[in-house]
Structures are given as structure tokens and as C-alpha cells.
């Protein structure tokens, strides 16, 4: 069995995760099968070193949260497709940049079904706090 120091163990994936379901970071890859034999599942997606999961639901949650909505321009990950779309438009769309230079409102609301557009990040964040009760927001 491989020894893992306490410094290599991250917090549980979810608040309900048991101590045996912690993510363990490893410097070398050991591709292990997911199964009911108690062996860990190893995530080999790019963006982090291989991580091991001891519960399939924790691995699935990890993939959904860390590897589903990825910007292929800068490899950042986003929690939803809507936030990814905002990021792509605001950081990687040259047409959108021209519209912004022209003075158009190009910053879409963080709430998917809200169609409000803002001139700046600050205005969008103020809208999100005032209208949608968001806590203070840092731009994506």
C-alpha cells in the first residue's frame, strides 16, 4: 500500500464525504479501475496532478465541477455553461471587444435567465448584488 502523508490529503469532496472518501494527490499516476473492490478511481484529466477518489459519486461530482465547462482558449474551468459563455464573450471574442470599445453593453448578467447587460464588470456585479442578492462578486 502506498504511503500518503497528511500534507498530501485534501479536504473531502463534499461536506458529507467520509474521511475514507478524501481526495488524495499523488505525484505519479497509477491507473486503477473503478469498481466495487474498494480500489480508488484516479482522475487523469489535465489541469491537476492525478487525484484518487474512493467513491464513484465523489469522482462524478469532481468531473462535473472541474472538467465539464472548460475554456479551450485559456483552460479555465467554470461552474456552468452560462458562466463559460460569458467568459468566452468577455475575454476571447474580438467582436465583443470591438463592441465594448464602441461603448456597447457587453457584460451579461451572471443569472442565466436575466437579460440585463452592463457596461462594466462593476456594474454587472452591482446588478447581481442589488437584483439577485449575490454576495460581492469577482469577475470570471
Each residue's pLDDT tens digit, 1-44: 343 333 333 333 433 333 333 333 333 333 344 555 678 999 98
Domain borders along the chain are 6-66, 73-132
Quick one: DSSP state of residue 49? S
Strand 117-118 and strand 22-25: the pairing is unpaired
Q: What angle do CA 75, 81, 85 make, to 5 degrees?
A: 70
Helix, strand or coil, per DSSP, at residue 41? strand
**Per the structure block, which three cell numbers stand in for 44?**
487523469
**CATH label, 73-132, candidates 1.25.40, 3.40.1340, 3.30.70, 3.30.160:** 3.30.160
Residue 122 has pLDDT above 50, yes or no: yes
The pTM of the whole model exceeds 0.75: no
Q: What is the DSSP letter of 16?
A: T
The number of residues making up the chain comes to 140
pLDDT tens figures, 93-113: 999 999 999 999 999 999 999
Amino acid at each position: 500500500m502506498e504511503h500518503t502523508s497528511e500534507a498530501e490529503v485534501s479536504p473531502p469532496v463534499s461536506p458529507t464525504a467520509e474521511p475514507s472518501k478524501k481526495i488524495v494527490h499523488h505525484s505519479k499516476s497509477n491507473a486503477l479501475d473503478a469498481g466495487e473492490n474498494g480500489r480508488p478511481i484516479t482522475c487523469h484529466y489535465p489541469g491537476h496532478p492525478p487525484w484518487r477518489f474512493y467513491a464513484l459519486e465523489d469522482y462524478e461530482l469532481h468531473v462535473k465541477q472541474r472538467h465539464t465547462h472548460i475554456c479551450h482558449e485559456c483552460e479555465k474551468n467554470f461552474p456552468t455553461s452560462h458562466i463559460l459563455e460569458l467568459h468566452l464573450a468577455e475575454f476571447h471574442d474580438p467582436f465583443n471587444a470591438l463592441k465594448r470599445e464602441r461603448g456597447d453593453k457587453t457584460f451579461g448578467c451572471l443569472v442565466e435567465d436575466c437579460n440585463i447587460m452592463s457596461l462594466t464588470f462593476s456594474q454587472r456585479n452591482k446588478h447581481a448584488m442589488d437584483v439577485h442578492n449575490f454576495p460581492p462578486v469577482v469577475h470570471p
